[in-house]
Amino acid sequence: MIDALSNQPGPIEALATEAEPIQRRTFWHRFFRRRNAVIGSAILIAVTTICVLGPMLWAKNPTAIDFLAFGKGPSLHHLMGSDDLGRDELTRILYGGRISILVGFLSMVIGIGIGGTVGAISGWLGGAFDFVVMRVVDIALSIPSLFLLLLLSVVFPPGVLSIAFIIGITNWMRPARLMRSQVLSLKPREYVEAAHAIGSPPWRILLRTITPNAVAPLIVDGTLLMGQAIVTEAVMSFLGFGVQPPIPSWGNMLTNAQTFIVSMPWLAIFPGFMVFVTVLGFNLVGDGLRDAL
Amino acid sequence: MTVYVARRLLLSIPLLFGITAIIFFLAHHLPGGPLAMYLNTASVTAEQLQHLTVQLGLDKPVYVQYVEWLGRAVHGDFGRSFADGRPVLAVIFERLPATLELMGASFALSAILAFAVGITSALRRDSLFDYAVTVISYAGMSMPIFWLGILAIMLFGANLHWLPTAGMGTAGQPYSLSDNMRHLILPMCVLAAFTLAQESRYVRASMLDVVGQDYIRTARAKGLAERTVILKHALRNALIPVVTVMTLDAAYLLSGALVTETVFAWPGMGRLFYDSLREGNYPVVVGIAVMVSVLVVLLNIVADVLYGVLDPRIKYH
3-state DSSP call for residue A159? coil
Q: Which ipTM was obtained for this model?
A: 0.86
Q: List the helix and strand counts (H, then E) for chain B.
A: 13, 0
- In the predicted model, residues of chain B with pLDDT beneath 70 are 32-43, 315-317
pTM: 0.85
* Other Cβ atoms within 10 Å of A124 Cβ, number: 20
Whether A148 sits inside 8 A of B31 (CB atoms) is: no
3-state DSSP call for residue B87? strand
B240-277 as b/e: b if 16+ CB within 10 A = bbbbbbbbebbbbbbbbbbbbbbbbebbbbbbbbbebb
Phi/psi at A67 (5° precision): -70, -15
Q: Please count the residue pairs, one from chain A and one from chain B, whose beta carbons lie less than 8 angstroms apart.
A: 119
- Quick check: A15 pLDDT over 60? no
- pLDDT, position A11: 43
User: Mutate which of B103, B148, B150, B281 to disrupt the A interface (most A C-beta within 10 Å)?
Assistant: B150
Q: Quick: pLDDT tens for A48-106.
A: 888 888 777 766 676 666 666 666 667 666 666 777 666 777 888 888 889 999 999 99
Whether A148 sits inside 8 A of B153 (CB atoms) is: no
Whether A155 sits inside 8 A of B29 (CB atoms) is: yes
For residue A175, what pLDDT band results from cuts at 50, 70 and 90?
very high
Residues of A in contact with B253 (CB under 8 A): none
Residue in chain B lying closest to A238 (CA): B146
Q: d(Cα B79, Cα B61) in Å, to the nearest integer?
A: 18
Please compute, for residue B115, the number of CA atoms within 13 A of its CA located in the half-sphere on the CB side. Answer: 17
- Residue type at position B204: R
Q: Quick: pLDDT tens for B230-250.
A: 888 888 888 888 887 888 788
DSSP class of A244: P
- pLDDT, position A102: 93
Phi/psi at B87 (5° precision): -60, 140
User: Mutate which of B19, B135, B147, B155 to disrupt the A interface (most A C-beta within 10 Å)?
Assistant: B147
DSSP class of A76: S
